[in-house]
Structure 1
Amino acid sequence: MRLMYLALESGANVFDWLHCKWEREATHRFVVTLLALSFIGTLIAVEIDKLGLLPPHLSTIVPDNPFYAINVAFTLMLVVEVVSMIFILPKSFSRSMGKQFEILSLILLRSSFKELVNLHGTLTFPDDFDILGRIMTDGFGALAVFLLLGFYLRLQRHREHTKDGAALYAFVITKKVLALLLLAIFVSLGAFNAWQLASHGELLHFFLVFYSVLIFSDIFVVLISQRYRPSFEAVFRNSGLALATLLIRLALSAPPYWNTALGVSSALFAVCLTLAFNSFRQSRIAD
Structure 2
Amino acid sequence: MKKFFDKFLSEKFREQTERIIVGIAILSYLVHLLLIFLVSQDIIDLTSKLTKNPISAVYTPFSFILIYEVFLLVFYLPSSTSKYIGKQYEIITLIVIRRLFKDIGHIELSSGWFKLENDLQFIYDVITTLILFFLIQLFYKKIKKQDNAEISRTPKEKIKIGKFIKLKKIIATTLIPVLIILALYSFINWFIGSIQHNESHINSFKNINNIFFEDFFMLLIIIDVLLLLFSFFHSDKFHQIIRNSGFVISTMLIKLSFSMEGLVNNVLIVGAVLFGLLILVIHNSYKNSTLPDH
- Is the contact made by 2:190 and 2:211 (CA closer than 8 Å) also made in structure 1? no
Q: Which moved more, 1:152-161 or 1:102-111?
A: 152-161
Aligned to 1:6: none
Measure the CA separation in 2 of the matches of 1:13 and 1:244: 33
Measure the CA separation in 2 of the matches of 1:33 and 1:91: 27
* Residue among 124, 140, 144 paired with 2:131: 144
* Residue among 56, 74, 77 paired with 1:89: 77
* Residue among 142, 159, 167 paired with 1:155: 142
Change (3 A) 1:151 1:64: closer
Secondary structure of the residue aligned to 2:95 is helix
Q: Deviations over 1:30-65 (max 9, x none)?
A: 2211111111111212333555655x9xx5889532
- Is the contact made by 1:162 and 1:229 (CA closer than 8 Å) also made in structure 2? no
Following superposition of structure 1 onto structure 2, how do residues 1-287 of structure 1 map, counting pairs within 5 Å?
A: 10=1, 12-20=2-10, 21-24=12-15, 26-49=16-39, 63-66=50-53, 67-120=55-108, 123-126=109-112, 129-156=116-143, 157-159=145-147, 160=150, 161=153, 163-164=155-156, 165-201=158-194, 205-284=211-290
Question: How many pairs were matched up?
Answer: 271
Measure the CA separation in 2 of the matches of 1:62 and 1:268: 33
Change (3 A) 1:189 1:50: farther
Measure the CA separation in 1 of the matches of 2:13 and 2:259: 30
Q: Which moved more, 1:277-286 or 1:103-112?
A: 277-286
Query: Could you tell me the percent identity over the aligned residues?
Result: 26
Secondary structure of the residue aligned to 2:146 is coil
Measure the CA separation in 2 of the matches of 1:162 and 1:260: 43
Measure the CA separation in 2 of the matches of 1:185 and 1:231: 32
- Is the contact made by 1:248 and 1:266 (CA closer than 8 Å) also made in structure 2? yes
Q: Deviations over 1:63-89 (max 9, x none)?
A: 532444222222221111111011101
Measure the CA separation in 1 of the matches of 2:125 and 2:225: 29
Computed over aligned residues only, the root mean square deviation of the Cα atoms, in angstroms, reads: 2.5
Letter in 1 for 2:91: I
Secondary structure of the residue aligned to 2:155 is coil
Letter in 1 for 2:8: L
TM-score (norm 1): 0.84
Change (3 A) 1:102 1:148: same
Measure the CA separation in 2 of the matches of 1:62 and 1:250: 26
Measure the CA separation in 2 of the matches of 1:40 and 1:240: 42
Deviation at 1:162, TM superposition (A): 5.6
TM-score (norm 2): 0.82
Deviation at 1:190, TM superposition (A): 1.4
- The ranges of structure 1 where at least 4 consecutive aligned residues each deviate by more than 6 angstroms after the TM superposition are none
Structure 2: state its 5+ residue gaps. 196-204
- Is the contact made by 1:137 and 1:257 (CA closer than 8 Å) also made in structure 2? yes
- Is the contact made by 1:247 and 1:263 (CA closer than 8 Å) also made in structure 2? yes
Letter in 2 for 1:86: V
Structure 1: state its 5+ residue gaps. 1-9
Change (3 A) 1:228 1:39: same
Secondary structure of the residue aligned to 1:158 is helix
